[in-house]
A = this chain, B = another copy of it.
Amino acid sequence: MALEKMARVDQRQSLTVVEIAKRAGCSIATVSRVLNRPETVAIGLRGRILRIVDELGYVPNGSARALRSSRSRLIGLIVPTLDSAIFTRMLEGLESRLAPAGASLVYSATGYDLDREIRVVRNLIEKGVDGIVLVGTCHRKETLKLLREHKVRFAVTYALSEDDSIPSMGFDNRSGGALAANYLADLGHKNLAVIAGVTRENDRASGRLEGFLAMAERRGIDRSSIVVVESPYEFSRGRAAAKIILDQNRHVSAIFCGSDVLAVGALHGCKDAGLRVPQDISMIGFDNLDIAEYLTPGLTTVDVPARVMGEQAANYFLADRNSLDIYSRVELETRLIVRESTAPARDRQ
């Protein structure tokens, strides 16, 4: 009797495919087949096994599964940070597609540090992820080397890779910046300023800035006349940057911000300086965060298809080897969303 009890305890300890097979009177191979490709098992036996699985509450051991099949159903997501809601939107897009397929998302942050990115990638590879989503095209050689040597599927988002061998689902940051410059030029603004993100080792921030400057020039605005300040994507930094710009250049009539977060801060910076938006100064953001619409004034901004990027990336990782090419490059568009923070330039001294 004591023995029986112990046996029962033993069973409880871990419920494996062996126990299921025993109860169903079949081999463990068949149980495995039912779990993975049910159509290959005769309907009767299949039903019996499924019922037992359900009754006993059997949950397969993912580690064993991953070890043997070398597929973990884990997708790594590496972003600079989630502080700014823009990456969150991509994450939600990814997860929404991954979850129904039984895949999960492993999240890691780099804090905009490319060296840290290397370590993060290594860690994710160690965890056995089937794929990794990266942000931007600028990465350390070692990062790519790791990815390639370990044959981990990966893709780049929030930008389009020039390298054809690197799958990317994103948009052209330069065009986005150009959109803003073009619109400001249309409104007759001639004295421009930019609060860019930190452009060092950040292709998105530098792309937006470069695109803005190039288009401004094309529209007849002297590039060197444009005041550029870089700052990290934080409300307070945007505010401070606006202050710096306005202190030094009272005649600036429009500011383009590399992100909506910066723009929110800059809006306050203008207020601090006693300037009204858009009457005295126009403001354009980038990202089109949900909040942009609910600011006062509503923020004119460049919309970024963040959620779609996530969904498309999911498609890519879920695709089987053959149809990989179909999903390996997705070019999306930015569009200008005009709200109340921009107005025609007033003649000012």
Mark A residues whose CB is within 8 Å of B: 57, 59-64, 66-67, 70, 72-74, 81-83, 85, 88, 91-92, 95-96, 99, 102, 104-109, 120, 122-128, 146, 149-150, 235, 264-265, 267-268, 271, 290-291, 293-296
A59 touches B296 (CB 8 A): no
Copies in the complex: 2
Contact of A59 among B61, B102, B105, B122 (CB under 8 A): B122
**16 cross-chain CB contacts under 8 A:** A57-B146, A62-B128, A63-B63, A63-B70, A64-B67, A74-B127, A83-B88, A85-B88, A102-B123, A104-B124, A104-B127, A105-B108, A106-B106, A106-B107, A235-B293, A291-B291
C-alpha gap A219/B38 in the complex (Å): 63
B91 touches A127 (CB 8 A): no
Contact A107:B88 (CB < 8 A) given known A60-B126, A64-B67, A67-B67:
no
B73 touches A127 (CB 8 A): yes
A91 touches B107 (CB 8 A): yes
C-alpha gap A295/B108 in the complex (Å): 30
B128 touches A107 (CB 8 A): no
A264 touches B235 (CB 8 A): no
Point out the residues of chain B lying under 8 angstroms from A295, CB to CB: 295-296
A296 touches B294 (CB 8 A): no
Contact A104:B104 (CB < 8 A) given known A59-B126, A72-B63, A128-B63:
no
B81 touches A92 (CB 8 A): yes
C-alpha gap A295/B83 in the complex (Å): 17
Point out the residues of chain B lying under 8 angstroms from A85, CB to CB: 85, 88
B74 touches A95 (CB 8 A): no
